[in-house]
Amino acid sequence: MASYSSSRLFAAFLVLLWSCRLYANGCYPSLFSFGDSIADTGNLKQLAATSNDGTFFPCVPPYGKDFIGHSTGRCSNGRLIVDFLAESLGLPLLPPYFHGQGTGGVVEPRKGVNYAVCSATALDASISEAGSSDRPVLNASLGVQLSWFKESLLSICGNTSDCRNFIGRSLILVGEIGGADYSHILQAGKLIDDLEPYVTLVIDVIASTINELIEMGARTLVVPGNFPIGCFPSYLATTGPDNQEYDPITGCLTKFNEFAEYHNKMLQTKLIQIRELNPDVVIMYADYYNSLMQIYRSPHEYGFTNNGTLKACCGCGGPFNYNMTIGRCGDACTILCDEPDTYISWDGMHLTERAYKLVFKSLFQGPYTTPEFYSMCPTSTSQAKLSSSL
Ligand SMILES: *[C@@H]1O[C@H](CO)[C@@H](O)[C@H](O)[C@H]1NC(C)=O
Ligand SMILES: *[C@@H]1O[C@H](CO)[C@@H](O)[C@H](O)[C@H]1NC(C)=O
Ligand SMILES: *[C@@H]1O[C@H](CO)[C@@H](O)[C@H](O)[C@H]1NC(C)=O
Ligand SMILES: *[C@@H]1O[C@H](CO)[C@@H](O)[C@H](O)[C@H]1NC(C)=O
């Protein structure tokens, strides 16, 4: 009797071991990403290096100063949300699509590829007013990124029916996208009050991209909303007297945050419609806005000091360490903070690695995705805790 139950115990132990091994392989064998500079791990850097059309790459050192290998093309001092996500799934850091171009392809494309490009818009160049006259419009909109994905697909996963299953097992991150559309339109001289008509256009592009991915076999997607841009030094430093209305708790610009919330509300409404039409597909909304807003509401609890709350770590001076008249982070005028970990904003428009890591945790191991990511992928939680270093 005793030996019977102990062998049962042993069998149970084996099952446990086996399931741990399964867990170690992660819930998703691959990760694909689309978006702008929030997720670009090196595409624009590569595009600028290989094209002769004046494509400009802004994220030069000290960008990447806290990343192994340094200047990777990430627009932060270190890793991005998508990097922490890949690590937590037991996947390699996501290779940029253009690293593989002309060199025989990305090394392990079956584990995922990143199509996000710094400064990319949701809207195609022809319909966005993105073209500020001094610079060519970047041809890397969400639709173009999707066409790169389609072009590269057969080399990643073989034939059409294999690819369908492969995409179905993959996790697909669609965004953040739209932030660059709005910032380009503002830079072209429009006011925050003029932006509303563009929101529907942007959301329609995001929705049609999701629908196309679903048609190709996608079953698990994460769709982020916009950040609270009213807290970003780039807007705090440049907004005109008409819009200088501040939230008393955070010091953020009220109208800019209301606009981001409006975009997010429209996006979520659209996602609800897509879910209803595709009940077998999981579409998670990633609430970048509130995930970051909780930090702005009590920055000290998270170790961000007075200077690091609304001021950029890297910039060219002024009350928010952001002054494009003089120059940007990376130019000769650069004033770099001593402790990036005590700053939320790295350069006025992008977060520091530490802020990205906190946002990642609250999204993918906390309550800020709907439905909650960790309820579908408990693995990522335990793995990320193991590899947690900050
Ligand atoms: C943009 O890129 C896409 C995909 O590579 C291409 O089909 C299109 O012709 C390009 N558009 C422009 C204006 O260069
Ligand atoms: C796709 O490739 C797999 C092997 O990788 C093969 O078993 C299958 O028959 C192929 N399907 C088609 C439609 O060619
Ligand atoms: C905060 O910024 C002020 C000037 O902007 C500087 O004098 C002070 O040393 C900074 N404090 C910290 C803790 O970095
Ligand atoms: C930026 O620098 C210019 C030139 O020194 C100055 O006139 C302007 O007031 C500065 N703006 C901010 C927001 O600091």
- Alpha carbons 83 and 173: distance in angstroms, whole number: 12
Residue for token pair 């966005």: 128
Q: What is the CATH number of the domain that holds 272?
A: 3.40.50
Q: Which ligand number lies closest to the CA of residue 324? A: 4
Tokens of 190: 């429009």
Query: Of the residues 30, 33, 37, 119, which is catalytic?
Result: 37
Query: Of the residues 40, 347, 362, 380, which is catalytic?
Result: 347
Q: Report how far apart, in Å, the C-alpha atoms of 207 and of each of 134, 142, 147, 275, 379 are.
A: 31, 11, 16, 11, 29
**DSSP assignment, residue 303?**
T
CA 382 to mean position of chain CA atoms: 22
- Alpha carbons 337 and 354: distance in angstroms, whole number: 14
pLDDT in the model for residue 57: 94
- Asked, for residue 109, whether it belongs to a domain, the answer is yes
> 151, 145, 122, 162: which is closest to 30 by C-alpha?
162
- The ligand 1 atom at the shortest distance from the C-alpha of residue 126 is 13
- The ligand 4 atom at the shortest distance from the C-alpha of residue 317 is 14
Tokens of 199: 């929101």
Q: In angstroms, what is the span from residue 163 Cα to ligand 2's centroid?
A: 10
Tokens of 114: 């990143």
- Alpha carbons 235 and 245: distance in angstroms, whole number: 12
Annotated active-site residue 76? The verdict is no
Ligand 2 contacts CB of residue 108 (under 6 A):
no
Q: In angstroms, what is the span from residue 162 Cα to ligand 2's centroid?
A: 7
pTM: 0.89
Residue pair 76/350 in contact by the 8 Å Cβ criterion: yes
**CA atoms within 13 A of residue 203's CA, in its CB half-sphere:** 22
**Taking the chain (390 residues) in consecutive chunks of 10 residues, what is each chunk's mean pLDDT?**
47 42 63 98 94 90 90 95 96 91 74 96 71 63 97 91 95 97 88 93 98 98 98 95 92 97 98 98 98 97 91 97 97 97 98 98 96 82 49
- Asked, for residue 335, whether it belongs to a domain, the answer is no
- Asked, for residue 262, whether it belongs to a domain, the answer is yes
- Asked, for residue 376, whether it belongs to a domain, the answer is yes
pLDDT in the model for residue 197: 93
Residue pair 42/98 in contact by the 8 Å Cβ criterion: yes
Annotated active-site residue 362? The verdict is no
- Asked, for residue 379, whether it belongs to a domain, the answer is yes
- Asked, for residue 52, whether it belongs to a domain, the answer is yes
Q: In angstroms, what is the span from residue 158 Cα to ligand 2's centroid?
A: 8
- Asked, for residue 95, whether it belongs to a domain, the answer is yes
Q: Which protein residues are within 6 Å of ligand 4, measured from CB?
A: 237, 318, 323, 325-326
Q: In angstroms, what is the span from residue 214 Cα to ligand 2's centroid?
A: 21
- Asked, for residue 196, whether it belongs to a domain, the answer is yes
CA 160 to mean position of chain CA atoms: 28
Considering its fold, how many domains does the chain have in total? 1
Domain that residue 151 falls in: 2-228+254-289+371-384
